Structure 1
Amino acid sequence: MSNNVYEIKESAIADPGPLGLACFALTTFCLSMINAGLVDKAATIVVIALALVYGGATQILAGMWEFKKNNVFGATAFSSYGAFWISLGIFDLLATLKLVTVPSQGVWLFLLAWTIFTFYMWIGSFGTNKALVVTFTLLLLAFILLTIGAAGNHAAHTWGGYVGIATAIVAWYTSAAGIFNTVYGKVVLPVGPCKK
């Protein structure tokens, strides 16, 4: 036994990836249903709550645990998109309460910046697995369409919603694969390793 009573033993942690992907998928799905026009815009209040708590704070926690697992891609993705959701939730909440008016150019700038970030995360995803490559390919396309939509193109905004729904479905699949493959100790849902 060590004489140092403050010695901390290294402990393994579970993979935070499925949690981060679930947070991302669920929040993306709800917002995208509104963007696609399949759910009334009044449902935005549900997205605000999800953006602040599940897609935001909980996803950031998953990102912090990815740092613990030394996964720079997962840590950067989950922490950043968690912050995206909190930011979006805050300005949607302020707009809903009529405390601020978010200018369309501000929304465009916000989405353009996230499109740029998503572009290089998409390139980084090529070093992960095929399921994440598909997730980030769809996410990048969704951001491009939503950015064009924020510039005044309503059709692009609607298509961005549909692509966002597809993004959420693939992210949910990838999350489920991480859970099922771990608890059953075998490949139940394949994610397809990328060639390195």
Structure 2
Amino acid sequence: MSSDLENQLHVISQGKPSQIHAENSSLDGLEVSKVSTEGEYIQIGNERFRRTELVQAFGGSMTAGLSPPPKHDFANPAPLGLSSFALTMFVLSLVNCEARGVVIPNIVVGLAFFYGGMAQLVAGMFEIAVGNTFAGAALSSYAGFWGSWAAIFTPTFGIITAYDGHSEELRNAKGLFLVGWFIFTFFLMLLTLKSTVALFVLFFLLSITFLLLAIAEFKDSIPVKKAAGVFGLLTAFAGWYNAFAGTISLLILDVPLNSLKFEFPKP
């Protein structure tokens, strides 16, 4: 996140009376000549916002750093990707917790292929189209995760049958698969340290979930698998929270603040 944007967030969130002037600029036909503050309100051109609305607008866009949504002709694709990931993770985690006595995970295969996989991949491609590299890489990668996970339980791919008579080797292979996703998720989590708390919590919980699932496979431990299921449920709810934040904040901020050149008054 640039220092200019940090200063903008600081001024907006602290509520200090100040006058902020911007050079004349044209944003998709909208002339913005001045940005000023008055009490709890921010005036951007002819638009008037509450300070809290502008702060909330930075959530739910799934960016590695805090930034207002870009001006483009697409809706925010992040809520679709987050929702598809969250629901698929929710159902799988319930199975890992053995909820209602369900222990066979094949019920998740359809979700993993079509919602967690296909729908999330579409969301990831649109994130790339709107210039959000972090969300594009994350959503598209996890779409690949769900597709590859579903392939393991699809007989046509012959993955499980290749390990007939080698159950321990199959568990170790699945553990290695999950370790790889833990490492990938851990590094994504590091990138969210300057983002919203909600987005950081999502990737933190997901990292723990992958790590516990890998340990459960290596140790063939049902209790650890159930613990992974609990963290998976928390991850799902964190994903839904971020998705709803993106849906709510979609129309809050119409002018990209980082497209303006601000002059902050000296004390």
TM-score, reference length from structure 2: 0.61
> Retained in 2: the 8 A contact 1:111–1:146?
yes
The 5 A counterparts of 1:60-71 are: 60-71=121-132
Counterpart pick for 2:184 among 98, 110, 117: 117
Further displaced range: 57-66 or 97-106: 97-106
Mapped to 2, the partners of 1:88 and 1:148 lie a distance apart of 17
Q: Does 1:12 align with 2:80?
A: no
Higher helix share: 1
Take 2:74 and 2:206, find their aligned partners in 1: how far apart are those partners? Answer: 28
Higher percent of residues as strand: 2
| 8 Å Cα contact 1:95-1:101 kept in structure 2 | no
Deviating 4+ runs (over 6 angstroms): 95-99
One-letter identity of the residue aligned with 2:215: I
Which position in structure 1 is the counterpart of 2:66? none
Q: Counterpart of 1:13 in 2: which secondary structure?
A: coil
Between 89-98 and 45-54, report the one with greater CA deviation: 89-98
What is the rounded CA distance, in whole Å, between the counterparts of 1:130 and 1:95 in structure 2? 41
Q: Return the alpha-carbon distance in structure 1 between the equivalents of residues 158 and 226 of structure 2.
A: 25
Q: Secondary structure at the match of 1:126?
A: helix
Q: What is the aligned counterpart of 1:128 among 195, 200, 217?
A: 195
Residue by residue over 1:7-50, the C-alpha shift from the partner in whole angstroms, topping out at 9 and shown as x without a partner, is: xxx962111100000010000000000011114024x2320000
Rg (Cα) greater in structure: 2
Deviation of the 1:87 alpha carbon: 0.2
CA shift at 1:70, angstroms? 1.0
Picking from 144, 153, 163, the partner of 2:231 is: 163
Matched, 1:53 2:114: yes
- For 1:110 and 1:151, the matched residues in 2 are separated by 11
Q: Among residues 103, 106, 126, which one is paired with 2:173 in the alignment?
A: 106
Would the aligned equivalents of 2:189 and 2:200 in 1 still touch at CA under 8 Å?
yes
Gaps of 5+ in 2: 1-70, 164-169, 254-267
CA change 1:30–1:94 in 2 (3 A) is same
Closer/same/farther in 2, CA of residues 82 and 116 from structure 1, 3 Å limit? same
One of 28, 37, 41 as aligned partner of 2:89: 28
1:35-78 Cα distance to aligned partner (Å, 9 max, x none): 11114024x23200000000001101111111011111101110
* Paired amino acid for 1:65: F
Q: Residue 12 of structure 1 aligns to which amino acid in structure 2?
A: D
Measure the CA separation in 2 of the matches of 1:131 and 1:179.
Answer: 14
- Paired residue for 2:240? 172
Once the 2 structures are TM-superposed, how far is the Cα of residue 154 of structure 1 from its aligned partner?
Answer: 2.3
For residue 103 of structure 2, what is the amino acid of its counterpart?
K
The 8 Å contact of residues 151 and 157 in structure 2, kept in 1 or not, is answered as: no
| Higher mean C-alpha displacement, 114-123 vs 126-135 | 126-135
CA RMSD of aligned residues (A): 2.2
- Pair 138,99 (structure 1): closer, same or farther in 2 beyond 3 Å: closer
Q: How far apart, in 1, do the equivalents of 2:250 and 2:72 lie? A: 18
Gaps of 5+ in 1: 1-9, 187-196
Q: How far 1:96 sits from its partner (Å)?
A: 11
Aligned counterpart, 1:147: 214
Whole-angstrom CA distance in 1 between matches of 2:160 and 2:217 = 21
